[in-house]
Amino acid sequence: MKFNIMKIKLILFLIVIVRAKENSECKEIHLNNVPHKKHVLGMGLNRPYQLAYDLKEHKVFFSYNVGNDTEDTFQIGFLKKGHIKHEEVPDVVNGFAIAIDNKDDVIYFGGSEGIYKHHLKPNSTVEKIVSDRNVWDMFFKHHLYFIEYPSQHLYKCVHEKSGVATEHQKHIHEKIYQFVIDGDEDIFITNETGLYRIKKNTTDRIFYGEPTVFRAIEVNNKGVAYFSAKDGIYVANKTSDTLENVARIKNIFGLAFDNDDNIIYSSPYEIIKLLPERCK
């Protein structure tokens, strides 16, 4: 009898330990004050950056570091739905920047030797469409835009009979780090000073104040721009022209959105999706 009570106590004790362990592993993240749970999509990656989500095949594309201790070398990879092991996209030299056109099922990769186009269908190859450009960042809306390194100038890709031509976007005179157009056709740019909004059909730069350094700016399916800074994710309040924090997460490298606008982000080693769930 005594033995059985001891046994029950021991079992209860173990249950408590297991529960406590589960709790410590499942950390809730509050996104817009709603508890969310982390779901790891990919792991063991070195600084996955520049996430892009393929809305049809549910693949997550990203660039990551395959260099050594002294020199960064970048490569493009992707995760298929339900596969934690990533695959590589071949043929893109120092592939770093990614932009996706989910309407036409085309993805673009930018590297140190140009821009490459890849159709999002089985067995499609990677085709180089722009040569001799070192690409820093890219954005797609109606057209492909890219920021060239080291000039930090903005270019737009336009299709011509002879191929793809690149047009310097002189209305963005700044040396910029990032460029996006949101659902209101407002432009957001960042430079060394910080973040500016340029309202549709205007030229004024509206300064947003703190924070001023961003690793990623991505527009979701509804056209809302999300900014990832050192201490979390922000959205713009266009009434006060300030940034509002929606989630406190440190060390975010890249951002993307799935079909339901769930946030996918990358940490220094993982790619994570946030879903509105509680830890049990």
Ligand X SMILES: *[C@@H]1O[C@H](CO)[C@@H](O)[C@H](O)[C@H]1NC(C)=O
- Spell out a b/e string for 104-130, using b for 16 or more CB atoms within 10 Å of the CB, else e: ebbbbbbbebbbbbbebeeeeebebeb
How many residues contact ligand X, by CB under 6 A? 20
3-state SS assignment for residue 22: helix
Stretch that binds ligand X, among 15-23, 46-54, 184-192, 245-253 (CB under 6 A): 184-192
| 240 in contact with ligand X (CB under 6 A) | yes
Pick one of 65, 205, 245, 270: the residue that binds ligand X (CB under 6 A). 205
Mask: binding to ligand X, 92-131, rule CB under 6 A, as x and -?
Answer: ------------------------------xx--------
| 163 in contact with ligand X (CB under 6 A) | no
Q: What is the spatial distance between Cα 272 and Cα 120, in angstroms, rounded to a whole number?
A: 22
Minimum gap (Å) between residue 14 Cβ and ligand X = 46
| CA–CA–CA angle 136, 258, 43 (5° rounding) | 70
Concatenated DSSP letters for 250-268?
A: SS---EEE-TT--EEEE-S
Stretch that binds ligand X, among 48-56, 102-110, 237-245, 258-266 (CB under 6 A): 237-245
Q: Is the dihedral of CA 14, 19, 24, 25 positive or negative?
A: positive
| 32 in contact with ligand X (CB under 6 A) | no
Q: What is the spatial distance between Cα 163 and Cα 157, in angstroms, rounded to a whole number?
A: 10
Stretch that binds ligand X, among 45-53, 79-87, 185-193, 217-225 (CB under 6 A): 185-193
| 196 in contact with ligand X (CB under 6 A) | yes
Mask: binding to ligand X, 51-70, rule CB under 6 A, as x and -?
Answer: ----------------xx-x
Pick one of 46, 124, 131, 193: the residue that binds ligand X (CB under 6 A). 193
Q: What is the spatial distance between Cα 236 and Cα 221, in angstroms, rounded to a whole number?
A: 16
Nearer to ligand X, 166 or 191 (CB): 191
- Report the DSSP beta bridge partners of residue 114: 111, 131
Minimum gap (Å) between residue 201 Cβ and ligand X = 4
Sheet holding 106-111, edge to edge: 97-101, 106-111, 114-119, 126-131
Stretch that binds ligand X, among 18-26, 129-137, 190-198, 218-226 (CB under 6 A): 190-198
- Amino acid (1-letter code) at residue 46: N
Nearer to ligand X, 22 or 185 (CB): 185
- 98: its two tokens: 């990614």
Q: How far is CA 129 from CA 126, 132, 165, 197, in A?
A: 10, 10, 9, 30
* Kind of pairing between the strands at 255-257 and 242-247: unpaired
| 203 in contact with ligand X (CB under 6 A) | no
| 191 in contact with ligand X (CB under 6 A) | yes
Mask: binding to ligand X, 243-262, rule CB under 6 A, as x and -?
Answer: -x------------------
Rg (CA), the chain: 22
Stretch that binds ligand X, among 157-165, 196-204, 209-217, 267-275 (CB under 6 A): 196-204
What is the binding site for ligand X (CB under 6 A)?
67-68, 70-71, 73, 122-123, 174, 185, 191-193, 196, 200-201, 205, 237, 239-240, 244
